[in-house]
Amino acid sequence: MSRYWLTGASSGIGAALAQRLLEQGHQVALGARDAERLTALVERFPGQALLAIGDLDDPAQVTDIATRIQLAWGALDTVILNAGTCEYLEPGHFDPALIERVMRTNVLALSHCLAAALPLLRAGRQPHLVVMGSSVSWLALPRAGAYGASKAAVRYLVESLRIDLDHEGIDTTLVSPGFVDTPLTRRNDFPMPQLWPAQRAAEHIAKRLPRRPLEINFPFPFIFVLRLLAALPVRLRLALGQRLARHEQE
């Protein structure tokens, strides 16, 4: 039995992962902004599920969560930093406040969690850090400037941090999914090729976690095509983006 901290556990991939890990017999600290959606899991898995409620944008609340976990379990063996958000920039309406919101949740809140989680991982057994990125970090897409920039920052942060953590015996995995059916993606008003159900995505991740790969990417055909397109010359990538772009008058 391993001790997990899973952020973003109340919906989407996080909710499906939480149930899967608890069914496997692990102890899981369930992270979310409020406890309402997690109460059923806590009641179903008494002694395994620990509520880790708080706003990850607030460093003090993240510290409080880590303290609760430490008092309950003493350490962590695996941390899955899955919480995130997505907003899109509209053509002709550049919004720096939107960029700030997305970066705050996807990058700064992640850094608060890393600072709180690493001491607990250092005290754990065979520690493993898992961070949710996105396939969008490979190829710039129209309207995705805020979300894509945040996930590109996540990729660089994780890949750089991995170098240092390797010397400490902490394995690091970056998860870069394509489109997954979640409350966030249901707000999208554009085609989402090879859309996976959240349950399938969670099972794919959970199945591969024991191998501790450097990356988990899916679905393979989508990722393969995306990375081929990302290797095109800059001008061809621009032309592709222009074909996909939504113009202001539309």
The amino acid at residue 169 is G
Q: Which residues contact 179 (CB under 8 A, 6 or more apart)?
A: 185, 192, 193, 194, 195, 196, 222
DSSP H or E stretch at residue 207? helix 198-208
Q: Which residues contact 37 (CB under 8 A, 6 or more apart)?
A: 10, 11, 15
DSSP H or E stretch at residue 49? strand 49-53
Tokens for 74? 């003493």
Q: Judge whether 86 and 139 are in contact, CB under 8 Å.
A: no
The catalytic position among 4, 88, 147, 156 is: 147
| Residues in the chain, total | 250
- Which residue, chain included where needed, has tokens 């996976």? 196
Is 147 noted as a catalytic residue in this protein?
yes
Residues with a known catalytic role: 147
